[in-house]
Amino acid sequence: MNRNTLVIAGSGIKFMSHITYETRNCIEKADKVLYLINEPALQEWIQGLNKNTESLDQIYTKYCARNDNYQAISEYIVNQLDNINFLCAVFYGHPTVLVQPAIYTAQAAETKGHNVIVMPGISAEDCLFADLLIDPSSCGCYSFEATDFLLYQREYESSSHLIIWQSGVIGIKNLVVKHNPEKGLGLFIRHLSKKYSLDHDVYIYEAAQYPTIKPRIEKTALRNLATANINRLTTLYIPPNCVKQINNDVCAELKVISEPDENNK
């Protein structure tokens, strides 16, 4: 079998503004472009750059279970790749951040001996860091998918930043048109209340999807989260509630290992 090339790229979050030159160049030069994008205008833009394009939307909604659709998308892309020298697959956001079909595709294509290149895109978390002025290195940062966070009771430090993805679809494995997230959020509040007071601030965040449009940033108390306006695009940010104390023993050891340069005092 020929060793063909698959580029998996992300479109970013904000319409047109987040497309990198590298991704644009691949879209233009690819023998074929497959895309899973939720923005009609961006779909038209891709079609304008390359005359041989195809949407994956129909496969995304083919089955009830989301994972079945993800597997179907992966199989379709890899089957296309077997007969195409340079194939580009474009996904919304960052191609490996909550985009399971892209990861399935990359793994399957590499297993078959094809050349796979993954190009990063701007994710909702990247936008959140910028809009809320968060430096994840300041005190560490935990990032969890909401259902996974609850099912596995993930461990985390309340002295660090905490980010929760997909809080509006907790416990949902199928494609959902309409869903009341109140029950799942109630469980979420109960889990967080082990480390945070019910009055602790929580930020409801949705990245801006278009230029000149502001992101949605709303602050509420943890106790009110279950009845807040939360949907499948919502990301939650919980700021630290305490400051971690320095370990004096480690601090002393580091001073011994790394004495300051006399010239740099």
Can you tell me the distance from the alpha carbon of 195 to that of 156, in angstroms, rounded to the nearest whole number?
10
- Going by C-beta distance under 8 Å and a sequence separation of 6 or more, which residues neighbour residue 124? 13, 93, 97, 165, 205, 206, 207, 233, 235
Is there a catalytic annotation at residue 63? no
**Alpha helices (runs of H) in the chain, residue ranges in sequence order:** 21-29, 40-49, 57-60, 66-81, 100-111, 124-131, 146-151, 182-192, 248-257
Identify the active-site residue in 35, 70, 76, 196: 70
Residue type at 11 in one-letter notation: S
| 8-state DSSP, 17 | T
CB 60 within 8 A of CB 69: yes
Q: Which of 66, 104, 205, 237 is flagged as catalytic?
A: 66
| β-bridge mates for residue 118, sequence order | 8
Query: Catalytic pick from 35, 76, 92, 203?
Result: 92
21 is catalytic: no
Closest-CA residue to 90 (of 134, 121, 126)? 121
Between CA 90 and CA 96, with CA 41 as vertex, the angle to 5 degrees is 25
* SS (HEC) of 137-202: CCCCEEEEEHHHHHHCCCCCCCCCEEEEECHHHCCCCECCCCCCCHHHHHHHHHHHCCCCCCCCEE
Provide the annotated active-site residues: 66, 70, 92
